[in-house]
Amino acid sequence: MIQDTRAINSDRSDIETLDEIWLFGYGSLIYKVDFPYLESKPAYLCGWSRRFWQGSHDHRGTPDKPGRVLTLIEEPSERCFGIAYRVTADVFDHLDHREKNGYLRLIKELEFEDVTRKPGVTYIGMPNNPAFLGPASDIDIAKQIHISEGPSGTNREYVELLAEALKAHNVKDPQVDAIHVLLQKLDSRRDA
Ligand code: BEZ
């Protein structure tokens, strides 16, 4: 474990100021919904983009051989598709544990498909967290993902499940799609 953010996240009292709690999922929270929720709908986080720039030492890799998983990067001209879940505050004990490797639970503005906006809670691995790996070329990212595996399964499966979930919502994400295709090529090279 590189940085356990559970204590920081559980001390945050800002969700108490919200009259409704909307949790925004842009990665595994889109397809691995292991928490109760009251309703869900598609949403966007404006000014942010998803990137495979966070190291995974606890789920899709190991401390010696970290995988690469998603975080959000500030990009003023972009917006990131995800699923917003209306939840009660008690889900965060479980989620803070699940997403403890460097992620901070932050409140950012969400936009729904009817263009209404509401604050949403999302987990972000900021560039100053010790598990942050930062940018690399698509092929280097794909190669690292291809060989990584941790207690939650292979890093390849993480990308496959994400790509399938985005496709099911008719969402094209150029980086996810590019890495997904490169992984398939690396697989076929290994099988040849
Ligand atoms: C998510 O799916 O929203 C998520 C991504 C990275 C860390 C925690 C949550």
Mean pLDDT of 154-171: 98
Residue 133 phi, psi (nearest 5): -100, -25
Substitution candidate for ligand 1 out of 99, 132, 169 with most atoms within 8 A of CB: 99
Is the pLDDT at 1 greater than 60? The verdict is: no
Q: Is residue 69 part of a domain?
A: yes
**What pLDDT, on a 0 to 100 scale, did the predictor assign at position 192?**
63
Q: Is residue 134 part of a domain?
A: yes
Mean pLDDT of 17-40: 96
Residues 6+ apart with CB under 8 A from 80: 26, 44, 45, 48, 49, 50, 72
Residue 78 phi, psi (nearest 5): -110, 170
**What pLDDT, on a 0 to 100 scale, did the predictor assign at position 189?**
77
Ligand 1 centre from 17 Cα, in Å?
22
| β-bridge mates for residue 43, sequence order | 82, 112
Substitution candidate for ligand 1 out of 103, 107, 129 with most atoms within 8 A of CB: 103
Distances (CA, A) of 60 to 120, 146, 166: 26, 11, 19
Is the pLDDT at 130 greater than 70? The verdict is: yes
Query: CB 58: neighbour CB atoms within 10 A?
Result: 23
Is the pLDDT at 97 greater than 80? The verdict is: yes
**What pLDDT, on a 0 to 100 scale, did the predictor assign at position 191?**
67
**What pLDDT, on a 0 to 100 scale, did the predictor assign at position 169?**
97
Give the model's confidence band at 155: pLDDT under 50 very low, under 70 low, under 90 confident, else very high.
Answer: very high
Give the model's confidence band at 36: pLDDT under 50 very low, under 70 low, under 90 confident, else very high.
Answer: very high
List all residues whose CB is within 6 A of at least one atom of ligand 1. 25-30, 70, 99, 103, 123
Nearest CA to ligand 1 atom 9: 123
Q: Is residue 169 part of a domain?
A: yes
Residues 6+ apart with CB under 8 A from 40: 33, 83, 84, 85, 86
Residue 89 phi, psi (nearest 5): -60, -20
Q: Is residue 1 part of a domain?
A: no
Ligand 1 centre from 169 Cα, in Å?
17
Q: What range does the domain containing 184 cover?
A: 6-191
Specify the number of domains making up the chain: 1
Domain containing residue 187: CATH number: 3.10.490.10
Q: Is residue 54 part of a domain?
A: yes
Mean pLDDT of 137-159: 97
Which range (46-55, 96-105, 135-144) has the least confidence? 96-105
Q: How many CA atoms lie within 13 A of 77 on its CB side?
A: 0
Is the pLDDT at 16 greater than 70? The verdict is: yes
**What pLDDT, on a 0 to 100 scale, did the predictor assign at position 12?**
82
CB 117 within 8 A of CB 44: no
Average pLDDT of the chain is 94
